């Protein structure tokens, strides 16, 4: 049986599948050529991440597909209901990348409160000639301890983010209409653990009380944070989005950054991805990364192994 990992798969995932007799192809095929390639190579399993779109049209053109796998949590780039209607099983890896995405959210948060996003632009240019001036301009950093982090979306990634925040000594509040209550166990290196209990608050309450806000939501039809929502937030709030492009109204975000309502933003995902708007890329108060939330060695190995294990269980049972 032939598997096409069109957006890549870790070496351990490939070796695990090949050890069970699967033929794994890791060629990256352009979207418009994908159907022909799948049919030509007699691909039965298509593995994707976020780049490849598995549409109704692609499914119709590839009658030999038996399974579609998504390396990650979200399935918004796959027409799941149509695939299942056609008898194609759809799988994903909901737990593999949670820690990696949460850590990136905090990387952007730390970058924001200590001006690293700007210092890393200006130090190479002026660090040798304007060192004292730069030191003074970045001297107003803020500690995270005792600040309030508002988490919008309290699934696996939101809860992993909460764990990091608790480790920093932050107060955590969350809003998630699908989860009224949650218990989080914070485990330490020496085997000790502490359990924290949370209850969902209204979105408005979270926006009002938070010093910093981070989004961990699936794809939505409307903005999770829209122009009106910014009016509710504290002055000087910081906003992080490592979830989905389109979760934040970027036009409104830029306006609020320019008028000082929002002190900084950290974005890993973008409305017009893979071609983010220039006004976003060039804004001096935005920390940027190119959709790398799950792109750690550990997460990719876990994703590869989770996919491999599921595929083997399905076809070799």
Query: Which domains are delineated in the chain?
Result: 2-96+297-316 (3.40.50.720), 98-288 (3.40.50.720)
- The pLDDT of residue 236: 97
Q: Which of 244, 250, 271, 302 is catalytic?
A: 244
Contact of 86 with 62, CB cutoff 8 Å:
no
CB 65 within 8 A of CB 275: no
How far, CA to CA in Å, does 135 sit from each of 107, 122, 126, 131? 21, 11, 11, 6
d(CA 158, CA 217): 8
Q: Are strands 67-70 and 2-5 parallel, antiparallel or unpaired?
A: unpaired
Query: Distances in Å between the alpha carbon of 37 and those of 3, 28, 101, 288?
Result: 12, 10, 32, 34
C-alpha span between 62 and 78 (Å, rounded): 14
Instruction: Name the 3-class secondary structure at 153.
Output: coil
- Residues 6+ away with beta carbon under 8 Å from 120: none
Catalytic, out of 175, 216, 291, 302:
291
Tokens (6 digits) for 25: 């192809």
Choose, from 103, 273, 277, 279, the residue flagged as catalytic.
Answer: 273
Predicted structure pTM score: 0.88
Residue ranges in 155-296 assigned as alpha helix (H):
156-167, 203-209, 227-232, 250-259, 278-281
What local confidence, expressed as pLDDT, does residue 221 receive?
86
* 18 noted as active-site residue: no
What is the model's pLDDT at position 73?
80
The list of the chain residues with pLDDT below 50 reads none
**Region label for 153, one of left (φ > 0), alpha (ψ between -120 and 50) or beta (otherwise):** left
32 as an active site residue: the answer is no
CA dist., res. 164 & res. 227, Å (int): 29
* Rounded CA separation 128/91 (Å): 52
Asked if 14 and 25 count as a contact pair (C-beta separation under 8 A), the reply is: no
pLDDT reported for residue 75? 85
216 is catalytic: no
* Helix ranges (DSSP H) in 46-202: 56-61, 80-85, 98-113, 116-126, 131-137, 156-167
């Amino acid at each position: 049986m032939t598997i096409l990992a069109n957006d890549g798969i870790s070496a351990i995932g490939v070796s695990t599948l090949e050890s069970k007799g699967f033929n794994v192809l890791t060629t990256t095929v352009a979207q418009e050529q994908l159907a022909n390639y799948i049919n030509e190579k007699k691909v039965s399993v298509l593995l994707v991440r976020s780049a490849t779109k598995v549409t109704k049209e692609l499914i119709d053109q590839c009658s030999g597909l038996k399974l579609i796998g998504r390396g990650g949590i979200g399935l918004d780039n796959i027409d799941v209901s149509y695939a299942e209607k056609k008898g194609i099983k759809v799988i994903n890896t909901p737990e593999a990348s949670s820690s990696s995405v949460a850590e990136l959210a905090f990387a952007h948060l730390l970058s924001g409160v200590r001006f690293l996003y700007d210092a890393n632009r200006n130090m190479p240019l002026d660090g040798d000639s304007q060192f004292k001036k730069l030191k003074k301009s970045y001297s107003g950093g803020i500690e995270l301890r005792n600040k309030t982090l508002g988490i919008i979306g309290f699934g696996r990634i939101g809860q992993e983010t909460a764990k990091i925040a608790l480790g920093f000594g932050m107060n955590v509040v969350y809003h998630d209409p699908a989860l009224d209550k949650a218990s989080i166990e914070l485990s330490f290196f020496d085997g000790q653990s502490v359990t924290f209990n949370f209850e969902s608050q209204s979105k408005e309450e979270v926006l009002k009380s938070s010093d910093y806000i981070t989004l961990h939501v699936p794809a939505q039809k409307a903005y999770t944070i829209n122009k009106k929502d910014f009016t509710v937030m504290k002055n000087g709030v910081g906003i992080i989005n490592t979830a989905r492009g389109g979760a934040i109204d970027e036009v409104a975000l830029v306006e609020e950054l320019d008028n000082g309502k929002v002190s900084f933003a950290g974005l890993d995902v973008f409305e017009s991805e893979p071609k983010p708007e220039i006004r976003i890329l060039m804004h001096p108060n935005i920390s940027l990364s190119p959709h790398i939330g799950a792109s750690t060695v550990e997460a990719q190995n876990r994703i590869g192994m989770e996919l491999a294990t599921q595929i083997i269980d399905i076809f070799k049972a």
